[in-house]
Amino acid sequence: MDPIKFSFRNYLPLFLLLCFSGNPLFTSTDYSKTLLVVYAFCFIAYMHLSVRIEVPESILKILLIIIVTIILISLFQYTLLGSVSVPGVFALILKIVVGAYTLLYYKDKKIDFLTVYIKIMAFLVIISLPFWLINHFGWYGLDLHFNNTKTLFLYTSVLEDFGLMKVRNAGMFWEPGAFSGYLVLALAFVILRNKKFELGEFKVQVLWIIIGVLTTMSTTGFIVMCVIINIYFYQNFGIARIVIMPLSLLIVYFAYNNLDFMQEKIVNQYEESHELGKGDISNTRFGSWKMDLQYIKSMPLTGNGLDSKTRFRFHPWITKDIGHGNGMSNMLVCWGIPFFLFWLFSVYKSLKTISRSVFTSVSLLIIILLLLQGEQFLNYPLFLLFFIIPYIYKFKTIPVNNETIL
């Protein structure tokens, strides 16, 4: 691959999309929705008036299908449940449209979106590490009065028990688990870029990304990264995997039994979910599933919507964000099983279009589903990109081999 030259202009659209995918300054303030609307209007205007983008017919069709589907589901929700969050529905549509135009920007510039994402995430790890070390000695930044966090824009300081190696690295996102999920997605994109579980030209970036995941101390991040590493060993070490894979599994077993955020956290959350009654509330990954099942069974086709009056109608005392811990169950609750399957099919189609490998596609699909068990990624535009990706990467103007230009 030709040496990649840094161009701030070429990194900016995806960086801003990442900001709208969980940077507290963009997503956890009173002006968040207004900021999204203003950015969407300005970016789309720039694409049409300055870049003079031509939106392919296939992109227009899939956007129309998605928007009409969301509106129809919302109408059914209003008819059946009596209430719909119009701002929430509009924000969801806007996130998908902004994501589509971000992909169209890179298509127009003949730049590989996956490569840009991998490099941005590695950069965010490098930037975060000094702030993470300082965070061990204090809680610094602008207080947003959101989940005990303060922001320094490129780093989110989380209130923890300060001390050596006790603070978790949240990067620029709302919590460490979110940073970990986006980093693991970068590893998935490395695999997708190479069409198999190989590092290719991304060895340096992968090293930084792994360091980043380790500093997040995220249970889901560790588990999924270990899955990726073991598949990598299996595919690339031939006869040596007879020794390497058992050693890797032994390290995983040791980590599971000795790290606080592994066995203890998983067992405690699992046991807590078993004790949940029908009216109890939980924001853990297991507890959220149990709490959400009654909502999924009640409205399996159209979902319960985004309005708290319908989303939590079996728990009417919930009036604000409870830090819901399972992105998959929340999507099923809000939008129903068919819409989630539509997204899931789009993910697989994206992976298969780029990798052209069933094994790679299925493996990465499982990895992405595992990531959803920990965070609300489907509330943000980055994961919603999968609706559009297969229709972008089918064009030959997006390089997926060694012709990437940046």
- Output the pLDDT for position 79: 96
Largest distance between two CA atoms of the chain: 62
Q: How many CB atoms lie within 10 A of CB 308?
A: 17
CB 58 within 8 A of CB 391: yes
Token couple for 292:
């959400």
Q: Are 330 and 324 in contact (CB under 8 A)?
A: yes
Residue 271's CB is within 10 A of a number of other CB atoms, namely: 10
**What pLDDT sits at residue 400?**
46
Structure token pair of residue 1:
């691959």
Find the angle CA(321)-CA(325)-CA(330) to the nearest 5 degrees: 75
**Shortest CA distance to 106 belongs to which of 95, 91, 117, 97?**
117
Residue 171 has a pLDDT of 97
- pLDDT score, position 396: 47
Report the chain (406 residues): mean pLDDT per 10 consecutive residues: 58 97 94 96 96 93 97 97 96 97 95 96 97 90 85 89 74 95 97 93 96 92 89 79 70 62 56 56 71 92 94 81 76 96 97 95 95 92 96 63 40
pLDDT, residue 234, reads 83
Give the pLDDT confidence score for residue 146 in this predicted structure: 76
Give the global pTM: 0.90
- Residue type (1 letter), 127: I
Q: Contact at 8 Å (CB) between 154 and 22?
A: no
CB neighbour list of residue 220: distance below 8 Å, 6 or more residues apart = 177, 180, 181, 285, 370, 371, 373, 374, 375
Q: Which pLDDT value is given to residue 334? A: 95
